[in-house]
Structure 1
Amino acid sequence: MNLQQRIDLLKRLGEYILSTDNQWAAAKEKAFRENGWFTPAFIELSANSIANAYLNPAALLAWATQYGIPAENAHPKNVGIVMAGNIPLVGFHDFLSVFLSGHRQTIKPSSKDEVLIRHLVEQLHGWEPATQALIGLQPMLKGCDAYIATGSNNSARYFDYYFAKFPHIIRRNRTSVAILDGNETVEELALLADDVYQYFGLGCRNVTQLYVPQDYDFVPLLETFRKYTELADHHKYKNNYDYQLAILILNKQYYMTNGSIILHENGSPFSPISQLHYTFYKDEQATAASLLENADIQCVVGKKWLPFGQAQQPGLTDYADGVDTMEFLMSL
């Protein structure tokens, strides 16, 4: 398949994702049954974001042109992809990058997020048999020429060992933070709520810590965050909320809550599910500078940084961990 054929096929895939096709609806329903964190609303959010931001043919062509992807890949390699499973279709960008570049790929999907990616790959196989030689799914990766693996800090150590002799990208735990100045509007706080609550806070682009001035008033924020009150009715999320609340009460630690999220002063950017850490700053610019250099931080949200509400809407060149996936693929 040449580049234009691949772009045309990706365009068709985007249209399929946005459709009401019965098979696609059944796949999304199955994904929810197999993973309770993948609610229908969050599956739709992720799928629609992918279709609109990633699978626009003009954007794909511009992306390919930016990296000089040739019409034909004369020396395709087999790239093994170990996908994460924290949010629906979280590994789609890696799949897309390899497919557009003209390399072959062997995917090891996460057991938590296998249904959706498998269904979409099978659709491609059905539409265009040539993709069967380009895209495969396997429970174990062997014999690949290069690897892209995403996981926890613990699993990354194993990836480093197993893939050391091959070109590779290894991704570890990351999270995102927001810097507030205390003058945010209700509309901005509502968008910040999206950055915090979407996907139950399980994504590396979810805001899990706030940096606020010394005299910050949390009441407007907690009130605005009530737009996600329904998450407190989700049994998995509620179990985490009850557990974290009990820990703070038993340890007689100060906290604030609106019934769906717990605010707790903590210097760590990594907060448990249902909890949002906050810390006070004295110098906003110095705080921002340190965060932008922190390897644990995926993105910084705020008036002077990534706009509120945009954390979970990455574009084609918003690469995970700041590592340029396409540049890596073109170097193989």
Structure 2
Amino acid sequence: MALGERINAFVQLGNFLKQFATQVPQANSDVAFNELFFDGMKHQLKLTQEHNGWFTKEYLCFAIGNWANALQKESLERWTAKYNLENTTSKKVAIVMAGNIPLVGFHDFLSVLIAGHSVLVKQSSNDKHLLPYLSKYLEYVAPSFKGKITFTDEKLTDFDAVIATGSNNTARYFEYYFKDKPNIIRKNRNSVAILTGNETAAQLEALSDDIFTYFGLGCRSVSKLFVPKGYDFQDFFGGMYNKSDIMNNAKYANNYDYNKAVYLMSLFDVLENGFLMIKEDTQYASPIATVFYEYYDDVDSLQAKLKADSEHIQCIVADIGMKNEIAFGQTQQPQLHDYADGVDTLQFLSTLS
């Protein structure tokens, strides 16, 4: 199958997904095979919500909407243009997926197939319903994909390369187990925000999207703030206020209550507003309903620190003219070329032989 055919198949998938980007799905009669897949997709979304309480309808719609927007012909062509993907020698690439947010492994899945390879997927039990169903849709719009997409719950065997995502502990296992195969091994990462005290109210409100989307469970979720000494958190909390209804989610509320109790019993100094706690801490990964913060002396020394700690950081939200900084409110809407851990997945896949 030529690259153009593969792109067109994902464009059609994007059109299909667009129908489910709102809380009430909107059927479009122009979408191919809707009579076979539309109602089934609604059922898969229902199963997904029932199976994982973190995957709310709101965040399922958000994730699906992001992918519907990304799977546009122009975007896919621009993304793939700089790689040699026309005459790829097809290999079988295994993907070990995380399950922290909906469709978190879709970018790897897309990358393997768009590069002309076959894919062997081992999903997380936390996110197991949507991708197999979307794969069936892909096989209908592009029959050449049949036989190129396999899902397994068993031990991975018979593959040529692997992309595996997990915790720092599982990454050590992956590095040993997959040491004889070309691989990309991803570890824990978190995102940070640099505040100066000069942020506008709109920027701080946008930051609340970076913090609370997917309940803070994604690697692109801001879990750590860097603030100047003497920073007044009043404006920060004001920017967070629009997310107060997050406490209506029982799983989030339970985590908030539990972590607050732990902090109180441990006599930690914590600031909180009834749905978010902030705690001074040098670590990057914070518990649910908590954001860590750390003071900095000057921007130059902070940038040096962040560069030294780059293997722990996915995104840096800031408005200080820093290279690769991300605007407030934009971490959860990555582009196709925004590779996890900064590793160019398509470059890796294009050089397999």
Output the TM-score relative to the length of structure 1.
0.97
Q: Indicate conservation of the 8 Å contact 1:118/1:137, yes or no.
A: yes
8 Å contact kept, 1:223–1:258: no
Work out the CA distance in 2 between the residues paired with 1:123 and 1:28.
Answer: 15
Partners of 1:289 and 1:15 lie apart in 2 by 43
Give runs of aligned pairs for residues 129-208 of structure 1, distance below 5 A: 129-140=143-154, 141-208=156-223
The count of residues paired between Structure 1 and Structure 2 equals 329
Q: Tell me the residue number matched to 1:240.
A: 255
Q: Distance in 2 between matches of 1:26 and 1:127?
A: 20
* Aligned partner of 2:319 among 303, 307, 321: 303
> What displacement does 1:168 show?
0.4
- Paired with 1:220 and 1:234, the residues of 2 have a C-alpha distance of 25
Counterpart-to-counterpart distance in 2, 1:251 and 1:153: 26
2:36 paired with 1:11: no
Cα deviation, residue 289, structure 1: 2.6
CA distance in 1, matches of 2:224, 2:292: 4
Given residue 265 of structure 1, which amino acid in structure 2 is its aligned partner? Answer: E
% identical equivalent positions: 43
What are the superposed Cα offsets for residues 193-221 of structure 1, whole Å, 9 maximum, x if unpaired? 00000000000110000000112111121
Q: Distance in 1 between matches of 2:279 and 2:39?
A: 44
Shift of 1:285: 2.1
Aligned positions of 1:74-89 closer than 5 A: 75-89=89-103
Distance in 1 between residues matched to 2:130 and 2:102, nearest whole Å: 8
How far, CA to CA, are the matches of 1:187 and 1:285 in structure 2? 26
Match of 1:126 in 2: 140
Q: For residues 157 and 203 of structure 1, what CA distance do their matches in structure 2 show?
A: 21
1:31 aligns with 2:48: yes
TM-score between both structures, scaled by the size of structure 2: 0.91
- Report the Cα offset of residue 237 of structure 1: 0.8
1:125 counterpart SS class: helix
Counterparts of 1:167 and 1:268, CA distance in 2: 31
Q: For the Cα contact (< 8 Å) 1:46–1:89, is it kept in 2?
A: yes
Give unmatched runs, 5+ long, in structure 2: 20-24, 26-37
Candidates 296, 306, 314, aligned match of 1:291: 306
Range with bigger deviation, 75-84 or 250-259: 250-259
More displaced 10-residue stretch of structure 1: 59-68 or 150-159: 59-68
| Cα shift at 1:150 | 0.3
- 1:154 Cα deviation (Å)? 1.0
Q: Which residue of 1 aligns with 2:22?
A: none
- On the 8 A contact 1:292/1:300 being kept in 2, the answer is no
Question: Structure 2 CA distance, aligned partners of 1:297 and 1:312?
Answer: 15
Give RMSD over aligned pairs. 1.1
DSSP 3-state at the match of 2:42 = helix
Q: Residue type of the partner of 2:289? A: S
- Tell me if structure 1 keeps the 8 A contact 2:207–2:239: no
2:267 aligned with 1:252, yes or no?
Answer: yes
Please give the alpha-carbon distance, in whole angstroms, between the structure 2 residues aligned to 1:89 and 1:26: 16
Q: Structure 1: give runs of 5+ residues left out of the alignment.
A: none
- The structure 1 residue matched to 2:39, chosen from 22, 25, 37, is 22
Cα distance, 1:22 vs. partner? 2.6
Alpha-carbon distance in structure 2 between the residues aligned to 1:51 and 1:16: 8
Residue 316 of structure 1 corresponds to which residue in structure 2?
Answer: 336
1:2 counterpart letter in structure 2: A
Structure 1 residue ranges, 4+ long, deviating more than 6 angstroms after superposition: none
